[in-house]
Amino acid sequence: MAAVRQPGKTFATMDHNVSTQTKDINASGEMARIQMQELIKNCKEFGVELYDLNHPYQGIVHVMGPEQGVTLPGMTIVCGDSHTATHGAFGALAFGIGTSEVEHVLATQTLKQGRAKTMKIEVQAKRRRALPPKISCWPSLVKPVAPAAPAMWLSSAAKRSAI
């Protein structure tokens, strides 16, 4: 890859390869160590901010983004993690993408996508305390949807990200 088009709009964190027991780069085995060392090298080479093992923001990417204010309403977010879509609970347009797409996004700041189909589901009933928003939506989740009910946006961030 020649360059990262906008390194100031890009960050990396170590999550899937990190030991939950210790902050030691060697703790998760040889393959994980090599991958984390490559991430360190690539971030330095291309000027990408890295939340490494010793950084206070380091964590699971789809959790630390919202927690640290990296994820904001109106942003478009892509990441090579299948849970990336959970950033949508915070008003971002978010896509979990594959490895080759990550390279394309880093180089071009674009993501080729087909036109998405839209579907709006409005829940008109007042939410009962005993019924979490996630359960309210389940009968409707035959296709990907974005809940439009005010009750969803009045729920906590944790509940919205679970939907």
What residues does each domain of the chain span?
7-108, 120-162
Predicted local distance difference test score (pLDDT) of residue 134: 66
Predicted local distance difference test score (pLDDT) of residue 136: 64
d(CA 63, CA 6): 23
Q: What six digits make up the tokens of 100? A: 């080759």
Predicted local distance difference test score (pLDDT) of residue 123: 65
Q: What are the pLDDT digits (tens) for 91-105?
A: 999 999 998 899 999
Predicted local distance difference test score (pLDDT) of residue 153: 55
Predicted local distance difference test score (pLDDT) of residue 17: 87
d(CA 65, CA 85): 12
Instruction: Name the H helices within the chain.
Output: 30-46, 61-67, 99-108, 133-137, 150-154, 157-162
pTM: 0.70
Helix, strand or coil, per DSSP, at residue 121:
strand
Predicted local distance difference test score (pLDDT) of residue 96: 93
* CATH entry 3.30.499.10 includes domain 7-108: yes
Q: Which residues of the chain, if any, have pLDDT below 70? A: 1, 121, 123-125, 127-128, 131, 133-155, 160-163
Positive/negative CA dihedral, 18, 24, 25, 27:
negative
**Residue in the block written with tokens 């071009």:** 108
φ, ψ for residue 52 (rounded to 5)? -80, -170
d(CA 7, CA 154): 34
d(CA 74, CA 92): 5
Q: N- to C-terminal Cα distance for the chain?
A: 36
Predicted local distance difference test score (pLDDT) of residue 117: 85
Predicted local distance difference test score (pLDDT) of residue 143: 45
